[in-house]
Amino acid sequence: MLVAILPGDGIGPEVTAQAKRVLDALAIPGMTYEEAPVGGAAYKAKGHPLPPETLDLAKRADAILFGAVGDPDCDSLERALRPEQAILGLRKELTLFSNLRPAKMFPELADASTLRKEVAEKIDLLIVRELNGDVYFGEKGMRQTADGLREGYDIMSYNEAEVRRIAHSAFRAARARRGLLCSVDKANVLETSQLWRDVVIEVAADYPDITLSHMYVDNAAMQLVRNPGQFDVIVTGNLFGDILSDQASMCVGSIGMLASASLDANGKGLYEPIHGSAPDIAGQGKANPLATILSAAMMLRFSLGQADAADRIEAAVAKALAGGARSADLGGTLSTSAMGDAVLAAL
């Protein structure tokens, strides 16, 4: 089993290093690792955020553990060379269309949520975000209008096959959980969303055991704060999923706690924390590595067939938190490596 480790920028190398320590401690037979640059680090070293050798490694690997991309030094580059294009390129080249972003409240962190404890402690949901369509990949550009004004445009589009594919992924996820699926769109305004809703309803006929509901995205954002316990699985498009999953992260206490998986049709995936590169704290040992460690657990479960090892990691994280381990984002003082130490001790 080959795991590609792509640390990236900012705090990416720091948090992936802790996840690698945990994986090493498990000593899984036959698991090997190769590392390659990506993002701003790759641009500085190779002249492109996703160099050919990095993409080749990603294609050869059985799974990818990804840190974060984003470097202020690269903000002035043309869009095609900015660090963020690396993750978009990997999603496109590897056809990683199904993004799983779980948000579950660890009981020990209920007081860290901005929500009331009795509301926060009920959070146990999964956001299934479509990754290959929407405004992220639609035609975009800048132009001048007839009256001389600058105008920017980004085209949001989905075709039926893209929606059908992610809908099946979400229904299967709901079947493995509590059997509730909420499809989030903006069908009262967007034709894209109307197609989305129509196709999701069609796919629902194949899953009579799943309870399907629909919600407009603005209401969904409100309900995530008002009553997040009502949600089991949420399926939504690329843009809405990006926003709602970040919101869900704060409902459970910190964006530093949320892992994610981006999967292809065969279960191969890229695993990463949902947070960014956080250049303001990079190199200071302040980053919370738990989201990356939990991403490694997802990698073991979904792509590498190592469910028992994944359970051990998740149990170790819970035990470390129960023992009082807290990084700065959780109101504590532990450094990145010290949080890693706490998980290893629990493991």
Q: Quick check: 175 and 181 in contact, CB under 8 A?
A: no
pTM given for the model:
0.85
Q: Give dist(CA 112, CA 26) in Å, integer.
A: 30
Domain boundary among 213, 229, 258: 258
Query: What is the reported pLDDT for 202?
Result: 98
- Out of 62, 246, 264, 341, which one is annotated catalytic? 246
- Out of 20, 134, 136, 286, which one is annotated catalytic? 136
Both 304 and 253 in one domain: the answer is no
- Out of 9, 71, 186, 268, which one is annotated catalytic? 186
**Residues in contact with 106: Cβ distance below 8 Å, sequence separation at least 6, in sequence order:** 252, 253, 257, 317, 318, 321
Both 74 and 115 in one domain: the answer is no
Both 192 and 271 in one domain: the answer is no
- Out of 154, 218, 308, 311, which one is annotated catalytic? 218
Q: Which residues pair with 305 in a beta bridge?
A: none
CATH number, domain with residue 273: 3.40.718.10
Dihedral angle, C-alpha 206, 235, 194, 227, nearest 10 °: 120
Domain boundary among 258, 284, 311: 258
Q: Quick check: 53 and 93 in contact, CB under 8 A?
A: no
Query: What is the reported pLDDT for 257?
Result: 86
Per the structure, the count of domains in the chain is 2
- Out of 134, 185, 242, 329, which one is annotated catalytic? 242
Query: What is the reported pLDDT for 250?
Result: 79
**Is 341 annotated in the active site?**
no
Both 5 and 79 in one domain: the answer is yes
**Is 246 annotated in the active site?**
yes
**Is 71 annotated in the active site?**
no
Both 243 and 132 in one domain: the answer is yes
Query: What is the reported pLDDT for 340?
Result: 98
Both 289 and 200 in one domain: the answer is no
Domain of residue 181, residue span: 98-258
Q: Which residues pair with 213 in a beta bridge?
A: 182
Query: Roughly what angle, to the nearest 10 degrees, separates helices 191-204 and 160-175?
Result: 50
Query: What is the reported pLDDT for 243?
Result: 94
Both 87 and 111 in one domain: the answer is no
Helices (H), the chain: 12-26, 40-46, 52-60, 85-93, 117-120, 160-175, 191-204, 217-226, 238-251, 290-302, 307-322, 336-346
Q: Nearest-CA neighbor of 203 among 160, 236, 241, 237?
A: 160
Query: What is the reported pLDDT for 177?
Result: 93
Both 152 and 300 in one domain: the answer is no
pLDDT along the chain (347 residues), means of 10: 97 98 96 97 96 97 97 90 92 93 85 84 93 89 92 94 96 94 97 97 98 98 95 97 88 84 92 93 96 96 93 95 92 95 97
Both 122 and 251 in one domain: the answer is yes
Query: What is the reported pLDDT for 105?
Result: 87
Domain boundary among 234, 258, 282: 258
Both 276 and 209 in one domain: the answer is no
Both 166 and 276 in one domain: the answer is no
Q: For the chain, report the end-to-end CA distance as a whole number of angstroms.
A: 22
Both 279 and 205 in one domain: the answer is no
Q: Nearest-CA neighbor of 220 among 114, 125, 155, 116?
A: 125
